[in-house]
Amino acid sequence: MHVALHRGLWSTTGVICIVLGIIGVILPIMPGLIFFVLAILCFMECSHRFRIWMEGQYWFTKVREILHRYRPRRHKRYDGSKTTTGASK
């Protein structure tokens, strides 16, 4: 039941993103490409076969490498302790 609900929500979200992407292609005000990319990601979460197929596509692996290269790096967490450098007054 949980898996069916999970797949249903991802596929419904993917279909909505495709509809919004088509509207974005027609209307110059709304961007369409981002909705198509979101639809691809939703369908990858929904279907294992689609994920394997997409990961085999050359352009998708190149885009993923570029995004991986420019993703923000994790910073050290600030632990709240005060450290002093040098002599104190």
Could you report the per-residue pLDDT of 11-34, keeping only the tens digit for each?
A: 999 999 999 999 999 988 888 888
Three-state SS annotation for the chain: CHHHHHHHHHHHHHHHHHHHHHHHHHCCCCCCHHHHHHHHHHHHHHCHHHHHHHHCCHHHHHHHHHHHHCCCCCCCCCCCCCCCCCCCC
Cβ 26 vs Cβ 40: under 8 Å: no
Candidates 44, 17, 45, 42; CA nearest to 32 is: 17
Torsion sign over Cα 72, 76, 82, 86 = negative
Higher pLDDT, 2 or 23: 23
Report pTM.
Answer: 0.64
What does the pLDDT read at residue 82?
56
What does the pLDDT read at residue 15?
93
Query: Which tens digits make up the pLDDT trace of 29-87?
Result: 888 888 888 898 888 888 889 888 888 888 888 877 887 787 776 655 555 555 555 55
What does the pLDDT read at residue 80?
57
